Amino acid sequence: MSSLVISVNIAGRSYRLTVENETEEELIRKASADINDKIKTFAESYSFKDNQDLLAMVGLEVTTKLLSKETMNSSQKDDILSELKVIDSIL
């Protein structure tokens, strides 16, 4: 399968990207739309100097959520391993 060149708009700027398939294209387009929605929400809720401030806040929010999910997944994995050890000791 050949690569696709797509263009996405983030914070008023256009970016050309090369993607491997339609699934990746769909994911990138959804991500750029989500970023723009978050920028709009921050712009309506807070004072800002320029788009860099808004992009920084979006980056911080997205990264914080990702790290929180990674921590939760790690904690859940530890809980599952503990339960499996208990089951293994019973067997």
Give per-residue pLDDT as tens, 37-78: 999 999 999 988 899 999 999 999 999 999 888 877 777 877
Q: Mean pLDDT across the stretch 9-33?
A: 97
Share of the chain above pLDDT 90, in %: 64
pTM reported for the whole predicted model = 0.74
pLDDT at site 63: 93
Between helix 22-45 and helix 51-90 the angle, nearest 10°, is 120
How far is the CA of 14 from the CAs of 1, 23, 64, in angstroms? 25, 20, 26
